[in-house]
C-alpha cells in the first residue's frame, strides 16, 4: 500500500494515524506535483494506492481502510451508529474547515491575499464557536466524539484540534475538549502523528 504525501500535512496525518490504529504497513512517498496530479485531479494529498486502485479525499481513505479491515470500532457497521461517526467527519470537512481557513492562512501561512483584519477576526470567532460546539458534544458523551468508543471522528477532529491550538490567536478555555485531548494524547497514533504538523 502506497500513500502519497508528507507526514507533516494535516490530511495525510489522518490517514497515517488511521494506519497506526489498524496496524497497517505502508510506504509513504512525498511525491512531486505531477505525480500527484496524475492520480488526483485536485492535485492534492493524501492519495492512496492499494491493490491497483487509487483513492483520494482523506476522510474517504480513512473510512475505506477501516471498512477493508473490518474495524467496526473505528467505523460501526450499523447504519445509525455509522452515520453518527460520518456526521462528525463530514462536519470537520465542511463546517469546521470552512471556518478556520481564512484565519489560518493569515496567521500561520502569512498569505498576502488573506490580510483583511475583519475577515481574520470573523474567521477566529467562527472557529472558536465551532470548537465550543465540539466541546459541548464531548461534555455530553463524556468520552469520545461520537459516543463511548474511539472512532475515525476522533482522528480527524483530533488533528483539527491540533491545528486550533497551534494557531497564534485567542482561544476560549474549553474543559471537555481539553480532557478529550488528554485522552487522545495516550494513543500511539496521536504520539506519532497528532502534533507533528507544519502549522
Ligand X SMILES: N[C@@H](CCC(=O)N[C@@H](CS)C(=O)NCC(=O)O)C(=O)O
Task: Tell me if 45 contacts ligand X by CB under 6 A.
Answer: yes
What minimum distance in Å lies between the beta carbon of 81 and ligand X?
23
Partners of 48 in the β-ladder: 3, 55
Task: Tell me if 57 contacts ligand X by CB under 6 A.
Answer: yes
Question: Which residues in 74-103 contact ligand X (CB under 6 A)?
Answer: none
Nearer to ligand X by Cβ, of 40 and 176: the residue is 40
Task: Tell me if 10 contacts ligand X by CB under 6 A.
Answer: yes
- The answer to whether residues 161 and 130 touch, using CB atoms and an 8 Å cutoff, is no
Choosing from 3, 4, 11, 65, the residue that interacts with ligand X (CB under 6 A) is 11
**Nearest one of 57, 56, 54, 48 to 4, comparing CA atoms:** 48
Nearest-angstrom CA–CA distance, 17 and 21: 6
In b/e form, how buried is each residue of 27-54, taking b as 16+ CB within 10 angstroms? ebbebeeeebeebbeeebbbbbbbeeee
Task: Tell me if 44 contacts ligand X by CB under 6 A.
Answer: yes
What minimum distance in Å lies between the beta carbon of 3 and ligand X?
11
Task: Tell me if 58 contacts ligand X by CB under 6 A.
Answer: yes
Partners of 147 in the β-ladder: 144
What minimum distance in Å lies between the beta carbon of 11 and ligand X?
4
DSSP 152: H
Nearest-angstrom CA–CA distance, 154 and 145: 6
What minimum distance in Å lies between the beta carbon of 186 and ligand X?
25
What minimum distance in Å lies between the beta carbon of 69 and ligand X?
20
# binding residues, ligand X (CB under 6 A)? 8
Residues that bind ligand X (CB under 6 A): 9-11, 44-46, 57-58
Amino acid at each position: 500500500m502506497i500513500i502519497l504525501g508528507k507526514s507533516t500535512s494535516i490530511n495525510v496525518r489522518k490517514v497515517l494515524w488511521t494506519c497506526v490504529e489498524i496496524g497497517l504497513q505502508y510506504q509513504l512517498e512525498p511525491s512531486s506535483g505531477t505525480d500527484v496530479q496524475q492520480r488526483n485531479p485536485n492535485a492534492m494529498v493524501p492519495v492512496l494506492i492499494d491493490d491497483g486502485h487509487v483513492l483520494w479525499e482523506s476522510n474517504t481513505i480513512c473510512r475505506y481502510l477501516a471498512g477493508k479491515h473490518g474495524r467496526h470500532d473505528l467505523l460501526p457497521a450499523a447504519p445509525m451508529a455509522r452515520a453518527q461517526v460520518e456526521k462528525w467527519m463530514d462536519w470537520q470537512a465542511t463546517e469546521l474547515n470552512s471556518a478556520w481557513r481564512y484565519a489560518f492562512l493569515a496567521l500561520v501561512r502569512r498569505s498576502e491575499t488573506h490580510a483583511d483584519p475583519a475577515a481574520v477576526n470573523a474567521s477566529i470567532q467562527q472557529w472558536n464557536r465551532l470548537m465550543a460546539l465540539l466541546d459541548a458534544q464531548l461534555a455530553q458523551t463524556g468520552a469520545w466524539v461520537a459516543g463511548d468508543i474511539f472512532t475515525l471522528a476522533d482522528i480527524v477532529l483530533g488533528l483539527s484540534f491540533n491545528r486550533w491550538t497551534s494557531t497564534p490567536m485567542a482561544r476560549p478555555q474549553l474543559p471537555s475538549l481539553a480532557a478529550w485531548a488528554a485522552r487522545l494524547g495516550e494513543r500511539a497514533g496521536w504520539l506519532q502523528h497528532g502534533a507533528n504538523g507544519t502549522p
